Amino acid sequence: MSYNEAVSVGFSECRSRGLRCELKEAHLTGRDVWKVKFHAFAPGARGHLHLEYHAYSRELLRVDEKIKDRDRDRGRDRDDWDDDDDGRGHGRGRGKKKGHSKHDDD
């Protein structure tokens, strides 16, 4: 399998998963394995798709697909237009430092 064939097969795998991909890198390892890495995009989501192919048999050996919803990554849903606390954000005491006070208790 050549570089061009590994990349082409990788793009085919990406399309078959319903993703739009941009090639990040592709290289042949010393163990006759092509590693083809993509930035992957789906409607409202993004992530990566990493594929490994055997250089001679062309067998797909490994798939690492991580696609995350963009709105969840920002910590807020599009539907949550108001500032009230509905259990998914600030205002519940999370993240506050405990055990520190501004005044001494002497």
Q: Nearest Cα to 10, choosing from 77, 66, 61, 79?
A: 61
Question: What's residue 69's pLDDT?
Answer: 87
> Which tokens in the block code for residue 100?
């520190």
Q: What is the rounded average pLDDT of the residues 6-21?
A: 93
Helices and strands, counts by H and E, the chain:
2, 4
Helix (H, G, I), strand (E, B) or coil at 3: helix
Lowest mean pLDDT among 13-17, 18-22, 52-56, 87-91: 87-91
pLDDT of residue 85: 52
Using a cut of 0.95, tell me whether the model's pTM lies above it. no
